[in-house]
Amino acid sequence: MSEQQFDIVIVGGGPVGMALALALRDYDLTVLLLEARALPEKVDDPRPLALSHGSQLILQRLGIWKNLVQSTPITTIHISNHGHFGHVILTPEDAGVPALGYVVNYHDLYHSMGRMVREGSNLDYQTNALVTAVRTDLPLAQVTYQQHGMTRQVRAKLLVLADGGKLAEQIDGIEYQTHDYQQTAIVANVRAELPQPGTAYERFTLNGPLALLPSGDEYALVWTMPIAEAAKKLKLDDSHFLQQLHEQFGDRMGNFTHVGQRSSFPLILKHASGIAGHRAVLIGNAAQTLHPVAGQGFNLGLRDAWELASEISRVPPDTPGEPGSARMLAAYSRRRQSDKRTSRIFTDSLVKLFTVDLSLVQSCSSLGLTALDCLPPAKRLVAHQMIFGTKGWFIG
C-alpha cells in the first residue's frame, strides 16, 4: 500500500478539528483532515454552544463568525441556587466586554465551518473517512482509515487527534483519568411567557445544574440530572415536562409554553494526563471532556486549536523535523497546562459544590453566591474565567 505523506494529519473534523484546519490554511503546509461522518450539512446536533467573548474573537479571526446563520448575544448571566437565597448577576461591565458571550447552535457552527474547510484550497478534507488505527512508534506517525470500502494509510510529521477521545489510547504514554458523573443532560429548545432577552440563566439544583441560554426568541435548555431521573423526564408529555422545569427554575420567566424535540447526552469528566506523544498531540474533547456547566468545553477546545496553530506557525516551515518535534510539542503542552487545569477544576468544582446534599455546604454555597455578588473583584475573576479562560485573553 503506498503511503502519502502530509505535514499534519488531523483526525476528527468536529468543530475543534475544523478550527485547527482553518487556522492552518494560510501556512505553507500540507494538511489532511479526516472525518468519520458524512458532509457536515447532513449532521444535525441540537446542542447549544455558549461561546465566550474570547471564542468569538478567535472565530472572527478565522473568518467563521460572519458566516454564522444565528448568534444570540448574552448580556446578563444570572446564577442562582434552587431552594436557597443568594444569586449572582454578571454583566459585560464586570468584565469590560461588549457581550458576555454568544449562543450558537452546534450544527450551525459545524455547517459554516464545513463550507469554509471545503473552500480551503490547500486543505485535503475527507469525509466518510473512519480512522481505525494510529501508530506513533515509527519515525513518522501512521494513520489507517476506511473510506468507501477501501483501506488507506497515510503518514504525518504531526498527528493531531481531535476525535473526541476514542483513539488516544493507541498512543504510547497517553492515559485518561475519568470520572462518570452518572448524569445525563437533556437538551431542548423551550419558550417562556416572559422571556428576558439576552439573559442566560445557570441554576444549581440538588439534581444538577440547569442552564437556559437565549437563542433567538427561544431558550436553549441544558438540564442535567441523574441518569434514571433523565430517563423519566424524557418520557413525560410536553406539558408535564414544562411544569417540572418550571418547578425547578421558578417564576423568573413566567410559565414555559413550548418545548421542542428533546435529546440527551451522557456526562463524564475525562482528561488525558499528558496531551502529547511522539509526533502526536490531542486537542479539544480528545484532550479533555468536561461537564457542560458554565459552557467551557468547546471554548477550551477552540483555544487548544488556536494555540497549537500559533505554536506551529512560530517555526519556519523548512525547519528539519517540523512540525511535530518533541521540542515543539513540549512547548505547546506547557503553554496549555494552566488554562486546561483551571477550566477543569472550575467546572468540576461547580458541579460538586452545588449538588452536595448537605445543608451546611448548601448554605455556604448560597452565602458564597451572595458574597460573590457583593465583591466586584471576585465577580470579575469568575467573569474572566467564563469569558477568556485562565489567561485573560486578548486576541488583538
Q: To the nearest whole angstrom, how small is the minimum distance from the Cβ of residue 275 to ligand FAD?
A: 13
Smallest gap from residue 165 Cβ to ligand FAD (A): 8
For ligand FAD, the binding residue among 187, 190, 242, 308 (CB under 6 A) is 187
CA–CA distance, 111 with 293 (Å, rounded to integer): 24
Q: What is the DSSP string of 273-334?
A: S-SEETTEEE-GGGTEE--STTS-HHHHHHHHHHHHHHHHHHS-TTSTT-SS-HHHHHHHHH
- Residues 61, 19: Cα–Cα separation, whole Å: 11
Question: At its nearest, how many Å lie between ligand FAD and the CB of residue 10?
Answer: 9
- Site for ligand FAD contains 166 (CB under 6 A): yes
User: How many Å is the maximal CA-CA distance in the chain?
Assistant: 66
Closer residue to ligand FAD in complex, CB, 185/245: 185
164 sits in the region (left: phi over 0; alpha: psi -120 to 50; else beta) called left
Instruction: Check residue 64 for interaction with ligand FAD (CB under 6 A).
Output: no
String of contacts with ligand FAD for each residue 240-279, x by CB under 6 A? -------------------------x--------------
**Interface with ligand FAD includes 346 (CB under 6 A)?**
no
Inter-residue contact 75 to 99 (CB < 8 Å): yes
Q: Which helix (H) or strand (E) holds 55?
A: helix 53-61
User: Total residues at the site for ligand FAD (CB under 6 A)?
Assistant: 35
**Residue 12 makes contact with ligand FAD by CB under 6 A:** yes
**Strands 150-161 and 4-11, bridge-based pairing:** parallel
Q: Does 37 bind ligand FAD (CB under 6 A)?
A: yes
Q: Which is nearer to ligand FAD, 43 or 371 (CB)?
A: 43
Min dist CB 279 to ligand FAD, Å, is: 18
Show contacts with ligand FAD in window 279-338 (CB under 6 A): 284-285, 292, 295-299, 301
Q: How far apart are CA 31 and CA 10, in angstroms?
A: 8
CB closer to ligand FAD out of 278 and 303:
303
Residue from 7, 13, 245, 281 in contact with ligand FAD (CB under 6 A):
13
Distance of closest approach, residue 26 Cβ to ligand FAD, in angstroms = 21
> Alpha-carbon distance 355 to 126, whole Å?
43
Least spacing, CB of residue 220 vs ligand FAD, in Å: 8
Nearest residue to 183 (alpha-carbon basis) of 267, 293, 248:
267
- Report residue 303: phi and psi, to 5°: -65, -35
Collapsed DSSP state (helix, strand, coil) of residue 170: helix
Of the ranges 115-123, 164-172, 197-205, 269-277, which one interacts with ligand FAD (CB under 6 A)?
164-172
Closest distance of CB 292 from ligand FAD, Å: 4
- In 3-state terms, what secondary structure has residue 67? helix
Separation between Cα atoms, residue 295 and residue 254, nearest integer Å: 25
Closer residue to ligand FAD in complex, CB, 209/301: 301
Q: Under the criterion CB under 6 A, does residue 209 sit at the interface with ligand FAD? A: no
Task: Determine the Cα–Cα distance for residues 154 and 138; give it in Å rounded to an integer.
Answer: 12
Binding site for ligand FAD (CB under 6 A): 11-17, 34-37, 47-50, 130-131, 162-164, 166-167, 185, 187, 222, 265, 284-285, 292, 295-299, 301
